[in-house]
Each structure stands twice: as C-alpha cells, then as structure tokens.
Chains A and B, each alone.
Chain A
Amino acid sequence: MMRASGGNGSARVARSKGVSFSKSPVLAVRLPPWRSRLVMIVLFLAFGALAARAVWLQGVSTQFLQKQGEIRYARTLELPATRGKITDRNGQVLASSIPVKAIWAIPDDVLQAPKEKLRALAALLEMPESELRKKLDSDRNFVYLKRQVEQDVADKIARLDIEGIDTRKEYKRFYPQGEVTTHVVGFTNVEDVGQESMELAQQKTLVGTPGTRRVIKDRLGHIVEDIGAKHEPHDGKDLTLSIDSKIQYIAFTQLKAAVEKFHAKAGGAVVLDVHTGEVLALANYPSYDPNDRRSLTGAQLRNRVMTDSFEPGSTLKPITVALALDSGRVKPNTYIDTGPGKFTILDRTISDTKAHGVINVQQIIEMSSNIGTSKIALSMPSQEMWEMFTKVGFGQQPKWGFPGAVAGRVRPYKSWRPVEQATMSYGNGISVSLIQLARSYMMFARNGDTIPLSFQKVSELPQGQQIIKPETAREMREMLETVVSGKDGTAKQAQIPGFRAGGKTGTAYKVENGRYAMPRKYIGSFVGIVPMSAPRFIIAVMIDEPTQGGHYGGQVAAPTFAAVAANALRALNVSPDSSVTEIVIPADTGPEAM
C-alpha cells in the first residue's frame, strides 16, 4: 500500500514538472543492441518450437494420438445372445436360459475385508467360511467364487460392498419338468454347451451368436452415441419337441411305479404317434434332476430306450409271422403242429410252456408259441428274414437325430445256422433297442408302411415306406388284439376299459458278457397299439430285471402299457371304441414261452 501510493505520487510530481514521458531522462539510458535481438531470437525460437510441436502432433503422430483418445472414450460392448428355449409340442417350456451372475474375486483385495463381511459372503454363497478362505488363498488375480448365482443373491452380495468382489453376467439353464423329461431334453454345462440328448443334438441351432457394438461413453458411463457398425446378436432358435409333456408325465410316473412294484433294476417306456412318427413320450427310470447334477450316476444318466439294446424275446414274433403271411406261405387259420411242447433242431431243443398241440397261426401269436413261430421261420429262406429285419430298422443306425442311439445287432444271414434262424424268429440271438422295437410295430398300426421317427414337432405328414401289404397289416392287428382280449392271450393285463388294444408280450433272458446270465435275469417287455379301430399310439414298455411279483412281459410290462394308454387316450380326448368298461383281470395270466 505504501509503495503503490508513493509511486503514484512521483508520477504526479513528474507531470507537475512539465516533463513529457518520452523525454524522461531515465529512459534515455541506451541498452546494448544485442539484448533486444536476443529477446527476439528467443521469441522466434519459442514460436518455432511451438510450430514444430504442432506439426509433430498434427502431422506425424496424429494416428497414434487419435487412437489413444478413442481408447479413452470409445468402448466395445459385448451383446450376449440367449440360448433358445426348448418347449414341448404344446409350447410348455422344458428348458429355458435365465441370466445369472458369476461371482469372482481378486483374492488379495478381498482378504483385506472385515471378518463379518466375509462370513456374510460365505453364507450367501452357501459354502463354509473355510472353503471360501481356501478359494481366496491363491496367487492368481482372478478366482471364481461361485458360478451361476441367481440374480437376487448376486444383488445381496453386491450390497455387502466388499472390495475386490465383482460379478460377470452368464446364463443358467433351468429345467422346470426336472427328472420327467430329462432323458429327452438333456442338459448343458456351465458354459451353456449341450451335453446330452436334444441339448447336444441341436446345439448348433439352439446356441446364439453374440454381437458387439462400439459406443462413446461419457464420464459417468452413460452411452452417448454409437460409432461404427453394430453387429446384432442373434439369439438361438427355440426348439419345439415332439414330446407331449402330459403323456410324458403319465409314462414316467407309471413306469416309475412299475419299476418300484416289481423291484426291478430299471425300466423304459416310449409312446409313438402312429400318424406322424413323433415320439410323444420317452421315459426312463431311474432318472435324475437336471437342475441338480451333483450326485449323478451312470445308471441314472443312461437312456435305456435309445442306447441299450436287448434281446426282445417274443415281441419279435409278429414280425416273423407277418413275413410268412405277406409272402403267402401261411394264412391266419393255417394249422401247424407244435407237438408235445418240445422241438429239437440238431442239438438244441426249443420248448413251449405247455403242449399246445395243433394250433393255427393266430393262436401261435395269441399263446406265444416258440415252436410254432420256429416252424414258420424254418419254412422261409434266411435271406428273406434278414431283409425283413433290416427293413423295419433292426441293425440299422437310426437317423432320428438323437445322440447315442444304438443300431442293435442282426448278424448277416449267411452265418445263420438253422437253429439260430428258429430262435431269432422269436427274438433270441438278435438285439434291438426299445424304440426300434416300437417303431417296427409301425407297419402293423399303419397299413403296412413305416415312417421315420421324429423328436421334433412334425408339420407335414412323412412319406411312408411300404413293407407289408395293407391286408397283412390288418390280419396282424386282429391277431395282436387276441393277445390282449383272447381267452388264451398272454397279455390280459393290457386290457383298457373302453378301448380295444392289441400288442405282444416278450420275456427274454438277459445276456451278460456274451452269454445268458446265471442265475437267470429277465427283461419283460410289451409293445402295444391303441385304439385298435383306428390306431393312434404305439406304446412300448420294458422292465429290466424284475425280481418280485413276476417277470413275464404280460405281468410286469402289460399293466404299465394299459395304465399309460388309458391315461394318454383320455388326455388326448380319444373317444372309446369299445363298450367294455368294466374289466376283471385274472390275478395271474400265467407263464409265457421264452
């Protein structure tokens, strides 16, 4: 303050003295000329440096700088694609992906957190604190703590606000129908890749392709605008299966009840639509819950209907008989002498349960006579039989788009010995899967033709391939009906109130390590057609190693067939074709030839 006022004072003094500013003697001091030049040169150099710098930034390093700038505001966003849903034929969801979170951690940062918070975190992750600490005790910078955590739990974890915990978006597949449909639907792993059944078979169409987009983000992380082209994500396509979840549930529960009732090792059941070739139900027991696969065993995982082949036994007889009928070698009322119930070919003896004497072809099917079928088979060349088996699909790799489906085994006809030709005619020495067996009855249920099976909903009717004459198919249907409703039929327990049913029982010894298991182990099976007046379903049931309450197909598999058929017919509103609504089933339908 003092100095400033002093200065002002002296200026005023100068003015008052009348001396002009330019003539001030103080300014008259001459400076050496190099000083002003030096200042100018320095100034020019400074300008030059600025210009050079500008040229450098604008011209030479501009690309690098622009890139660096872009890195700071532009972001590439991943646009995730959802895996397609799997639904049943009526649109009920069988598998669906829901976004969930993977919880990951930077161990060193997390371990700094207070103890209570870690305890709360462990509780939310549903793991003991010791396990959490073990996971965090790692040299890595990135550790997954738990994957596929549901959104609400992830939100709670975020609210704990622990340093070093972060989440990553991922999808979890849910299977609402659980163990009932799992053998058809299959499941995916944590990476959303199909592992079993249709999830595996249709992986390519179910999986989506993720997209990307480049955007400019502002300081707060809001997207300001798009830059460059956007690659749209494509969600996976939804898959509509041929399965009817109602029939599937019926088949599964009835099969489960049968396996438990007969203390069997396992069982399988399949329901086919006669008109479209669609698989309406495919059930296996034991089964598993695909939502919780922690204690999954091989036996539960096994899809016996598709991937296990077995000797079908008598269920194969109608095919041999149909061939003989079709080629005109026999008629339904042709009489054949089955003798005293024993028939020896070279060194092997084929036997019936009792001496049937002279019976006709229709009775051979009704009473399931091994000798009768063998005699019919021996009247035909082995090549014709082999061709018949091949035509209905035995020994042929199924092309239905189902992973792991087996071909079964039919040896080349040139190596058949006569006794083998005879035993094969009633289903020994040949192996098929249950679904192949069910499909072979397609030609009886339809008018002699067969159609390919489908695990996906069919929109147009498939073209049939004629195997036997329509007339033969009709005669066979009549014979199959006598098995269920005839007085000597082997499958009286397959009767359904209000409906006419037909089918064939089968009981076979189990083969283990290439020979029949000792003590005997059985597989009881039944393949049936309902309703007989206008066939709609083919239902095949197989019970593996029943140990209590019988082991014949007519005892263990036929009742399951009847229960599944009755419920399925009711579920699909099929009107009854029989006035018989009260059925008294004999307690024991008696033994059956093997």
Chain B
Amino acid sequence: MSNKINIVLTVLLLGCALSLVNAQYRARHLFIDLERAQALSKQLDIEWAQLQLDQSTLGKHARIEEIARRDLGMTPLTPNRTQYLTEGEP
C-alpha cells in the first residue's frame, strides 16, 4: 500500500518538477519579449521626440516666410484686398 502511494507521489513530484522547468523556461521567454517591447517603446519615444523636433525645426516661421516669399512669390495679405464673409449678414 505505502509502496503505491510512494510511486504516485514520486510521479507527482516529477510532474511538478518538470512543469516548474517548463514554467521557468516560458517565463524567461516572455521576459525577453517584454524587454524587447520595452526597448522598442523607448526607441519609439525617442524617435517621436526627434520627429516633433524636426517638425518644429522645419515648420519654423522664418523658414516658411522665406520659402513663401522667395520660392512661391507670395505677399502678405492686407484687409483692402480681403473679402470678409460674416455670418448672418446678406
């Protein structure tokens, strides 16, 4: 009788031990994935900041004005050649 219990317990113990190994293995893998994802998120954050900076640099008003005047031949708007449309008026 006690022999049978011992065998059952041994089998259980082995099962537990193997599942622990398996769990540990999967935890390592998930951890590596998490690490990678976090590194990527960090990298993307930096990229986002860099892009925002680029947007601000390229959208500098001085640059826009220069391009508008020189390359596109634009001139500033004045009220005497503006038609104002006011809501509610005929």
Binding site for B on A (CB under 8 A): 82, 85, 92-94, 96-99, 174, 176-178, 180, 222-225, 245-246, 249, 253, 497-499, 567, 570, 575-576, 581-582
Contacts and interface: CB of A to CB of B under 8 A. Distances in A.
B25 interface: no
B56 interface: yes
B80 A92 contact: no
Contact of A581 (B31, B80, B86): B80
Contacts of B60: 176-178
B52 A93 contact: yes
Given A99-B46, A581-B80, A174 B53 contact: yes
Interface in B36-90: 45-46, 49-50, 52-53, 55-57, 59-62, 65, 76-80, 82, 84, 86
Listed from nearest, the 4 A-B pairs whose CB atoms lie closest are A498-B79, A581-B80, A249-B61, A176-B56
Contacts of B46: 98-99
A176 B53 CA distance: 7
A281 to B, nearest CB: 12
For the complex, would chain A's binding face be called helix, strand, loop or mixed by DSSP majority? mixed
Given A176-B60, A180-B62, A246-B61, A96 B52 contact: yes
A77 B6 CA distance: 47
Nearest to B46: A99
B33 interface: no
Given A99-B46, A581-B78, A581-B80, A180 B61 contact: yes
Contacts of B78: 497, 581
B53 A582 contact: no
A93 B56 contact: yes
Q: Which of A93, A98, A222, A253: most chain B CB closer than 10 A?
A: A93
Contacts of A576: 79, 84
Q: Which of B27, B28, B52: most chain A CB closer than 10 A?
A: B52
Contacts of A225: 27-28, 31
Contacts of A498: 79-80, 82
A96 B79 contact: no
Nearest to B28: A224
B84 A96 contact: no
Nearest to B61: A249
Q: Which of B53, B57, B61, B79: most chain A CB closer than 10 A?
A: B79
B56 A98 contact: no
Contacts of A174: 53
Contacts of B62: 180, 249, 253
Contact of B53 (A96, A223, A245, A499): A96
Contacts of B52: 85, 93, 96
B42 to A, nearest CB: 10
A96 B49 contact: yes
Nearest to A174: B53
A586 B33 CA distance: 74
